[in-house]
């Protein structure tokens, strides 16, 4: 049995006590952008219930065109107004460089990715970078509440980056 099959068995149990459907727009009008790291259970970290917030995640919790696309849809079509950014301690993005990663892929496949890997040497600085990218973007309309945090994987605490 694959892990996927095992998780599907979990889903069958989840559905037994599920009650839906909830409305489509997020009830708390918040969008979260967080790292894909397995230790970040975003709903539990923020005490979110189903239906309350959009959750956008990728390697690093960085802001690229696809997060801008998601935030533009979230705010313009589904009414969110606040943005919460979450990076974390002990992040995999601190362990490599863009040059090294893209060269490794070129060596193995013969093709160099046309995108940046978005590795970063300092997690606080990259939270500030993510906020700056949103602030500078013309397609995300609601910028009054954009706050960035580093989740401590040892303590479970969100520490705000100023």
Annotated binding site for Zn(2+): 35, 37, 88, 91
Exposure of 126 by Cβ count < 10 A (0-12 exposed, 13-18 middle, 19+ buried)?
A: buried
| 58: number of Cβ within 10 Å | 16
Question: Does residue 124 belong to the site contacting its own copies (CB under 8 A)?
Answer: no
Q: Which of 97, 99, 103, 115 binds its own copies (CB under 8 A)?
A: 115
What stretch of H or E contains 107?
A: helix 98-109
| 81: number of Cβ within 10 Å | 15
Question: Does residue 129 belong to the site contacting its own copies (CB under 8 A)?
Answer: no
Question: Does residue 148 belong to the site contacting its own copies (CB under 8 A)?
Answer: no
Question: Does residue 68 belong to the site contacting its own copies (CB under 8 A)?
Answer: yes
Distance CA 115, CA 118 (A): 9
Residues 40-59 that bind its own copies (CB under 8 A): 40-41, 43-48, 50-59
Q: Which of 99, 103, 113, 125 binds its own copies (CB under 8 A)?
A: 113
User: Of 75, 65, 61, 80, which Cα lies nearest the Cα of 119?
Assistant: 61
Number of residues that bind its own copies (CB under 8 A): 91
Nearest distance in Å: CB 125, its own copies: 19
């Amino acid at each position: 049995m694959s892990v996927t099959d095992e998780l599907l068995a979990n889903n069958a149990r989840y559905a037994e006590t599920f009650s839906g459907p909830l409305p489509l727009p997020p009830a708390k009008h918040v969008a979260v952008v967080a790292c894909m790291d397995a230790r970040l259970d975003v709903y539990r970290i923020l005490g979110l219930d189903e239906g309350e917030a959009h959750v956008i995640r990728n390697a690093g919790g960085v802001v690229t065109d696809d997060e801008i696309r998601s935030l533009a849809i979230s705010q313009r079509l589904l009414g969110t107004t606040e943005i919460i950014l979450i990076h974390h301690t002990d992040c995999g993005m601190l362990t490599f460089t863009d040059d090294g990663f893209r060269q490794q892929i070129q060596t193995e496949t013969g093709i160099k990715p046309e995108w940046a890997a978005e590795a970063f040497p300092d997690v606080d600085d990259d939270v500030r970078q993510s906020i700056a990218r949103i602030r500078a973007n013309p397609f995300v309309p609601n910028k009054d509440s954009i706050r960035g945090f580093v989740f401590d994987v040892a303590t479970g605490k969100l520490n705000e980056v100023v």
